[in-house]
Amino acid sequence: MPIIVHEDKHLFEIQTARTSYVFGVNEKGILQHLYWGETIAAHDCAHRLRSRSHSSFDAEVERECEEFSFWGGVGYSEPSLKAQFSDQVRDLKMVFEGYRIEKDKGLECLILILKDAFYNLKVHLYYRIIPELDLIERYAEAVNTGEDDIVLESFQSAAWTMPYMLQSRMTHVAGSWAGEYQLRETVLSEGKKIIESRRGFTGPHANPWFAMDDGSAAESVGEVWFGALGWSGNWKIVAEKTIFEHVRVTGGIHDFDSQWMLRSGESFVTPVFVGGYSSSGFGGMSRTLHRYQREYILPTEAKRKVLYNSWEATTFDVHAGEQIELAKKAAKMGVERFVVDDGWFGKRNSDRAGLGDWDVNPDKFPSGLDALIREVNDLGMDFGIWVEPESVNPDSELYRNHPDWVYHFPTRTGTQLRNQLVLNLAMPEVKQYIIDFMTRLLSSHPIAFIKWDMNRTITEPGLQGFPQEQQREIWIRHVQSLYDIWAELRAKFPNVEFETCAGGGARIDFGMLRFADQAWPSDNTDAFDRLRIQEGFTYVYSPQIMMCWVTDSPNGMNGRKLPLSFRFHSAMTGALGIGGNLREWADSEIGEAAVHITSYKEIRHLVQVGKQYRLSSLRHSKLAAVQYVNDDHTDSVVFVFLHAQQFGRHSQLKLQGLAGGMVYDVEGLSKETVQLHGSTLMKAGIPLNMRGDFDSVMIRIKAREGTHE
């Protein structure tokens, strides 16, 4: 039973395999957080459950660590809920009414019920528990039980109070297009550190995830508290440290330019903000989050196929003949899925026209799309296609027929980004248009895979079709409608797999991943830059969903020349794809690629569903190294990348996750297979014979039959 209620002490205790999460209702009725971390005797916290006044300026200090901050009275910390009633009163006095424990999605769930002392507003706080992963999924629901409207001005998913630490260091990711998922650290001082998106989608500049430690945690050691929000629109995570040294992280849908009308009888449910604890550093945190995605978030269990995508080879110049040429080369290499990217529809010869007109371009496919699909299938591959349903080029039939279908303010000219505007997904007819054309596309062609792109932010957020008091619902309605569309398509076409892409990795989060099987982390396909992007990505997201393409050298973005083996090894640390212009590849390169693809198929179960250990980072070293191990420690693969050798020196690398007493066959270190004990591999490490610039190696480690721990 992971939920224990100590009624006599007014304490709630959530137990997971290795943690305690404790809070109580104090004498003023405030839900006061008391502890979160490694397992303790929770009832010992009872003596700390009390209201504390410091001065008339800080009358209820415990409100700095309230389980959920209702804005009203003397509560001044980051609000979890701020509301306005129909008589213009903007003050909440939420009184604890009771609790219930029930199963939610098969998991034990504690639900706290609070009610305003005067108004007809109820709030339910949910704590859904995943004991074996030490995770708690938190979300909240507001219910209008009266006759009058209530305006929700800010409604966050959860507030996580951190335990006391000598210093609080926050880790997060920052980035930009082509440079997503860069790891950053900041030590908090009094005030707030905010990471956010106000651009209408998750965004490349930050990602809704945080980790907190006392400055001493590292990849494989130390205590780390962390959380990740499942929302694909405007979001905000606020880490706040007070003068009384309380540190709290509040997160949810961004309250900027946002409000929600809660009409009589209606309720609003926030997205889930999952929180967890790891006592084995950032690596432990990531392995927990990877397993969480696989077991609780992703829609399917299927392993990722090796795909080919023609975007970098042909851009908008998509013609059946060249696509078939590419497909033949891809099939020869062992590719399993062939994907035609942008440019196959309407008058889409550049990014200036055609977006919105989803009919196959007859000039580009004179025998129809199915002729290409048949060729691809005959070559032994399945077929995928690119779409960007939320956007429209003004130069398109769709826009000419429906200029009012985009978000806009009547007195403003809509800003065009990549020559496109954003469709108003909140309008029922627009939503239906997207469902209809996608249904047509998927039911009239044998398509196995959809890459769903979104290449701009939202501007001029006028929500046509909605009354004045609901205009600021746009940010939420866009995402709700997007989720509805994906849910409907996935239900209608259960065998079609989906990728989330937004000009690279700008819409990857636990909200979108409930619908998407895989994700495109970045348009930057330089295998060296990718190592940093992929490292940050795997802090939160599983290598299983991380699509990585092998592209041409020199790289189109930065001109860097890299050996084919380096490009493959970098891409093999996630879900492998090929994105180069194969028509230009020499036969020897196609041959070498085939060998790498064969190796990948032999190790992909480790990369995609094994445990990942990041052994070395380019942030601190000239070596990047990452290892994957199966659950019973018998099978492992390591990829090592050298940036630049200096002074003729060689490096050593210590492995992880093996069984000390087992003897392993180690392939890849030298020409011969060597036998080494797990203890030797992990404690003494292995010598690396890597040389020059941009060297890389794949090392395969397999337990010898008959050896054991």
* 453 part of the active site: yes
564-572 helix and 587-609 helix, angle to the nearest 10 degrees: 20
> Considering beta carbons, is residue 268 or 316 the nearer one to ligand DGJ?
316
CB-closest chain residue to ligand DGJ: 342
Q: How far is the CB of 334 from ligand DGJ (least distance, A)?
A: 22
Among candidate residues 134, 255, 453, 552, the one labeled active-site is: 453
How far apart CA 121 and CA 536 sit, in angstroms, is: 41
How far apart CA 138 and CA 252 sit, in angstroms, is: 10
User: Greatest CA separation found in the chain?
Assistant: 81
> Considering beta carbons, is residue 455 or 538 the nearer one to ligand DGJ?
455
Q: How far is the CB of 385 from ligand DGJ (least distance, A)?
A: 11
Contacts for 602 with CB less than 8 Å, ≥ 6 apart = none
Tally helices (H) and strands (E) across the chain.
Answer: 11, 38
Q: How far is the CB of 309 from ligand DGJ (least distance, A)?
A: 7
How far apart CA 454 and CA 502 sit, in angstroms, is: 4
Among candidate residues 255, 523, 529, 695, the one labeled active-site is: 523
Number of other CB atoms surrounding residue 135 within 10 Å = 24
Sign of CA dihedral 340, 342, 347, 349: negative
Q: How far is the CB of 502 from ligand DGJ (least distance, A)?
A: 7
Q: How far is the CB of 274 from ligand DGJ (least distance, A)?
A: 27
Separation of CA 34 from chain center: 30
CA neighbor of 552 nearest in space, from 310, 374, 339? 310
Q: How far is the CB of 658 from ligand DGJ (least distance, A)?
A: 37
What's the angle, vertex CA 533, arms to CA 528 and CA 534, rounded to 5? 90
> Considering beta carbons, is residue 197 or 455 the nearer one to ligand DGJ?
455
| Joined tokens for residue 227 | 């959380």
Number of other CB atoms surrounding residue 683 within 10 Å = 11
How far apart CA 617 and CA 630 sit, in angstroms, is: 22
* 404 part of the active site: no
> Considering beta carbons, is residue 281 or 384 the nearer one to ligand DGJ?
384
Q: How far is the CB of 342 from ligand DGJ (least distance, A)?
A: 4
How far apart CA 505 and CA 508 sit, in angstroms, is: 6
> Considering beta carbons, is residue 134 or 390 the nearer one to ligand DGJ?
390
Contacts for 12 with CB less than 8 Å, ≥ 6 apart = 3, 4, 5, 6, 22, 23, 24, 99, 110, 112
> Considering beta carbons, is residue 213 or 523 the nearer one to ligand DGJ?
523
Residues that bind ligand DGJ (CB under 6 A): 311, 341-342, 386, 453, 455, 501, 503-504, 520, 523
Contact predicate 637/607, CB 8 Å: yes
> Considering beta carbons, is residue 271 or 503 the nearer one to ligand DGJ?
503
Active site residue ranges:
453, 523
